[in-house]
Chains A and B, each alone.
Chain A
């Protein structure tokens, strides 16, 4: 049973455009939702994260929108740049409060290509 569903699998965006990646989760116990960015040959690195007590979090050109009732969250990349070309993974965990094993459940990833 896949607990975090991510779409699209791949995305091509023109430079300067908006990239949008969506995720949906099933487990209502999840209390922390990070996004990881992975460049080829590298390990994933934390990009931005949100807790369910807020509906939006913005860091620079990256914004997470969170809809608790729909159990969905999304990543928006504004003014997308070729350097943003990478694979993006959404994730969820029920470990933020300190309970649980804190394992992250990842989506299957979205390969983003930003073309000049």
Chain B
């Protein structure tokens, strides 16, 4: 498909385990974002990648969270030593960063993480 693809769609893990969530953005999109959606808390910005620039990591809640983007395309969000409060839907989005900005982020359907 032509949209943002995320995997797995659902992940159940035990407290203390590490998890990896994958995002495959729309081809040609230079910007990639990770957001976390918790019940009743809206969408929380985690990290932003733009081309070859240093990522904006200002939204990562702790050092247990990290993300990388290889080859300017696929991104992996890693959560180490998961905690129950990490349970949420993790959304990935991408867009083309033009000179004037576009405003539209294209979101994937998310990865629902449940930490037992």
Contact = CB atoms under 8 A, between A and B. Distances in A.
A105 B45 contact: yes
Contact of B108 (A43, A95, A103, A108): A43
B61 interface: no
Interface size class of B (residues with CB under 8 A): 20 to 34
Nearest to A49: B103
Contact of A32 (B45, B97, B103): B103
A89 interface: yes
Given A43-B4, A46-B105, A104 B45 contact: yes
Contacts of B100: 96-98
Contacts of A109: 42-43
A103 B48 CA distance: 7
Interface in A76-116: 89, 93, 95-98, 101-109
Contacts of B42: 6, 89, 106-109
B2 interface: no
B101 A102 contact: yes
Interface residues of A, number: 26
A61 interface: no
A43 B93 CA distance: 9
A60 interface: no
Nearest to B46: A103
A9 B42 CA distance: 10
A101 B41 contact: no
A93 B93 CA distance: 15
Given A43-B109, A98-B99, 11 more contacts: A6-B42, A32-B101, A43-B108, A95-B101, A97-B100, A98-B101, A102-B31, A103-B33, A104-B105, A106-B44, A108-B42
> Which 6 A-B residue pairings sit nearest by Cβ, starting from the closest?
A43-B107, A108-B42, A106-B43, A101-B56, A46-B104, A96-B101
